[in-house]
Amino acid sequence: MPERGRFDLNHSGFGEGLAQNLALLHEFGTRDTSRIRGDGLLGVLDNGIVNAEELFIESPEHRGTVFGLFAQASTTPPCRCKVDLVTSEGYSRAMPSPTDAEIFTRWADTEAPLLPILHAFHDRDGFLREEAIHAISEALRTPIADLYGTVTFYHHFSQHAPGQSAPRVCTGPICKLKGADALLDSMRAEGATPMACSGRCDDPVPVLKGRQTLVACDGQMMPWHSPVPAPNPGGLEECVFASIRQPDRATYDGYRRTGGYLGLEKALATDPAAVRQTVSDSGLAGRGGAGFPTGRKWDAVAEDPREPKTIVCNADEGEPGCFKDRTLMDLDPHAVIEGMAIAAHATGATRGFIYLRYEYPETEQILERALEEARASDLLGSQTGFDLWVRRGGGAYICGEETSLLNSLEGKHPFPRNRPPFPVTHGYEDLPTVVNNVETLASVPPILSNGADWYRHLGTGKHAGTKVISLSGDVRRPGNYEVPLGLPLSELLHEWAGGVPDERVIQAVTMAGLSGGFLAREGLDVTLDEPSIRAQGSFLGAGGIMVLDDSRDMVAVAHSAMEFFAHESCGKCFPCRIGTARLTERLDSGGPSSVESWREEVDDIGSTMKATSACGLGMAAPLITESLARWFPDQVETHVNSTNS
């Protein structure tokens, strides 16, 4: 009797698309099903099924779930169905897609259910129908007005056809410089719309279609994968990139073969307080931008008696010009999981979440597979007292702010919370919560394996450890570089990344993605550490650096940046909501007619925003106009005079 499986496929039509999907499933049918472990991802798909949307298999002994991306046929509109497959005979039969009740049964009683329920309906129907929103409201007992407000806050939850099947073209700062607007125009007939920076500045211009990321290659749109970071030219010792280039590092077996989970084993044999002390002694601080000492954060959660405690990995990497977290999760997912498991042991946490940005659909598949492998190896789940789940966002820059992220997890409108209290005491469900960045968590296992002194000495001088820099723009070798803190910026730009192509020169760089504004001229003579960069009126932050050569119009770049901040302002506080809009106008064609009055007005708006905004977005956005006026007064004067002539 041939083995049966029930497969949930997302394809376009019942013609070529279904035939392609079934061919892939036949390949799967020859695999050893004994490797399917429990409820979760199959570990047999690395070479068998590529391009799968969502797949369920049920057999007498095994049940699993596989995430991937199925090739889309040209037929529209998208059709979603279940197919019963007899693998040895190639027989298939279309069945109805999952019902509302099946979706609610799967998700309603899980932790943080709203986001996965929204995605389930969005994937099934291609967009969120009004009937679906009403059904979700009733099932979760959420007022319909609140739910509408939350759903419409996110950028990527469509409410009408063609929905998620329509292409979304990245028009972030680097992609704009690399032809994104022309690509968008060429795809308008397909219903293409722009989207903010999607975290692939190292290989522009990406297009998101359904659950697949594509890039143009030789005139065709091809699937995209995270590039492997190039080795640093000095052969300097690394922390999070030390083994990332090893084959199969993203798999459990490959991770173990290259020293993975040794840090967790050492931690579990050590008192939690001693683990926290090691992290504190290492000097590890938050690598997502805030730079708060990691050990102190863990201490605060551990010392709070209330339970349950939670570990949250902030993987909502929405800052333009930043793509380091994507690389770590795609190529080294078990390092993040191991870091979270160590944090759980050190603080007494029993649950965890990886909050992943919407624009990383392939990363979600990689993480889910890694989590299933970790559970199958008894590193997560009921045997350990700690488990964690991926929750994919809906597309909102503000969710990178930790309290907005927590509200999003809880199914609330993702506004930032007033602080204090802080998440270490009032985080997820108002209970003690660690919120750490991907890079921070990935740094923990090697620190536990090699010791605090080892990590401290990776930096230069008084600076402890390393930092991954996402470098993009007008530079020969864009990509992610793990540098010792304190490395001269000029060495990174010229010796590591090859300098500027086409015989041009560097006009400016951005810092902290966009949030740190611009550095130019003598401002480029800094080292990559917070004290040096802050002395120039900027900050390192998450480590995104975009290079702009001397052909770029800096006022136009500043306008694009401020337009992004205005678009992403959550609207909770009026200084940010109104201030970013007014500054965008001043960088376009509005404002006073004299340069002196223009600068006075822009400075006044900026100082008000920094003093009174509710979160970092409103505090950082004025650095764009401040640094523009400081480093490029001639271009500002030309702009003001030309708009009033």
Q: What is the dihedral of CA 414, 419, 421, 424, to 10 degrees?
A: 70
DSSP 397: G
Other CB atoms within a 10 A radius of the CB of residue 135 amount to: 17
Look at residue 167 and give its three-state secondary structure: coil
State pTM to two decimals: 0.86
Q: What is the dihedral of CA 592, 596, 599, 602, to 10 degrees?
A: -40
CATH classification of the domain holding 486:
3.10.20.600
Distance CA 575, CA 562 (A): 14
What is the mean predicted confidence (pLDDT) over 343-355? 98
Contact 379, 335 (CB under 8 A): no
Residue 251: its pLDDT value, please?
A: 97
Q: What is the dihedral of CA 100, 101, 107, 113, to 10 degrees?
A: 60
Amino acid letter, residue 525: D
For the stretch 464-515, pLDDT in tens is 999 999 999 999 999 999 999 999 999 999 999 999 999 999 999 999 999 9
Please spell the DSSP secondary structure of 32-77, one letter per residue. -GGG--SSSB-S--SSS--S-SEEEEE-SS-EEEEE--PPPPS-SS
Structural domain including 620 reads 554-643
Helices 574-586 + 622-631 axis angle, to 10: 30
Domain shared by 537 and 476, yes or no: yes
**246 belongs to a structural domain:** no
Radius of gyration of the chain (CA): 25
Please determine, for residue 26, whether its predicted confidence score (pLDDT) is greater than 50: no
Q: Which residue shows structure tokens 């730009």?
A: 493
Distance CA 432, CA 34 (A): 40
- In Å, the largest CA–CA distance within the chain is 84
**32 belongs to a structural domain:** yes
Residues 6+ apart with CB under 8 A from 215: 200, 203, 204, 205, 206, 207, 221, 222, 224
For the stretch 297-340, pLDDT in tens is 999 999 999 999 999 999 999 999 999 999 999 999 999 999 99
Q: Helices (DSSP H) in 70-177: which residue ranges? A: 100-107, 114-125, 130-140, 144-153, 173-177
Please determine, for residue 91, whether its predicted confidence score (pLDDT) is greater than 70: no
Domain shared by 393 and 496, yes or no: no
Contact 211, 53 (CB under 8 A): yes
Residues 6+ apart with CB under 8 A from 150: 114, 411, 412, 413, 414
For the stretch 516-529, pLDDT in tens is 999 999 999 999 99
Residue 193: its pLDDT value, please?
A: 96
Residue 218: its pLDDT value, please?
A: 73
Q: Please count the helices (runs of H) and the strands (runs of E) in the chain.
A: 25, 19
What is the mean predicted confidence (pLDDT) over 633-637? 96
Residue predicted with more confidence, 211 or 78: 211
Residue 289: its pLDDT value, please?
A: 85
The pLDDT confidence band at residue 65, using thresholds 50, 70 and 90, is very low
Distance CA 537, CA 518 (A): 9
CA distances from 44 to 33, 55, 64, 362 (A): 8, 13, 11, 17
CATH classification of the domain holding 574:
1.20.1440.230
Look at residue 481 and give its three-state secondary structure: strand
CATH classification of the domain holding 299:
3.40.50.11540
Residue 75: its pLDDT value, please?
A: 27
Distance CA 485, CA 528 (A): 6
Domain shared by 317 and 451, yes or no: yes
Question: Per mean pLDDT, which range of 50-54, 145-149, 151-155, 430-434 is the poorest?
Answer: 50-54
> For residue 93, what is the enclosing H or E element?
strand 91-95
Closest to 584 in 3D by CA, of 553, 611, 606, 600: 606
Domain shared by 26 and 109, yes or no: no
Distance CA 244, CA 298 (A): 26
Look at residue 548 and give its three-state secondary structure: strand
Domain count, the chain: 5
Please determine, for residue 62, whether its predicted confidence score (pLDDT) is greater than 70: no
Domain shared by 306 and 445, yes or no: yes
**159 belongs to a structural domain:** no
Look at residue 400 and give its three-state secondary structure: helix
**188 belongs to a structural domain:** no
For residue 432, is the peptide bond before it cis, meaning its omega torsion is within 30 degrees of 0? no
Residue 16: its pLDDT value, please?
A: 37
Other CB atoms within a 10 A radius of the CB of residue 338 amount to: 28
Residue 96: its pLDDT value, please?
A: 57
Domain shared by 264 and 340, yes or no: yes
Distance CA 312, CA 310 (A): 6
What is the mean predicted confidence (pLDDT) over 13-19? 35
Residue 393: its pLDDT value, please?
A: 98
Distance CA 436, CA 254 (A): 25
CA distances from 470 to 38, 239, 495, 541, 592 (A): 38, 16, 16, 11, 37
**267 belongs to a structural domain:** yes
Q: Of the candidates 57, 75, 95, which is a domain's last residue?
A: 95
Domain shared by 125 and 82, yes or no: no
**206 belongs to a structural domain:** no
CA distances from 348 to 166, 272, 276 (A): 44, 8, 11
Residue predicted with more confidence, 448 or 59: 448
> Token digits for 405?
């992220």
Domain shared by 505 and 560, yes or no: no
Contact 528, 490 (CB under 8 A): no
Domain shared by 277 and 350, yes or no: yes
For the stretch 361-405, pLDDT in tens is 999 999 999 999 999 999 999 889 999 999 999 999 999 999 999
Please determine, for residue 542, whether its predicted confidence score (pLDDT) is greater than 50: yes
**529 belongs to a structural domain:** yes
Domain shared by 629 and 613, yes or no: yes
**141 belongs to a structural domain:** yes
Residue 320: its pLDDT value, please?
A: 97
Q: Of the candidates 407, 430, 456, which is a domain's last residue?
A: 456
Distance CA 432, CA 438 (A): 19
Domain shared by 583 and 444, yes or no: no
Domain shared by 346 and 488, yes or no: no
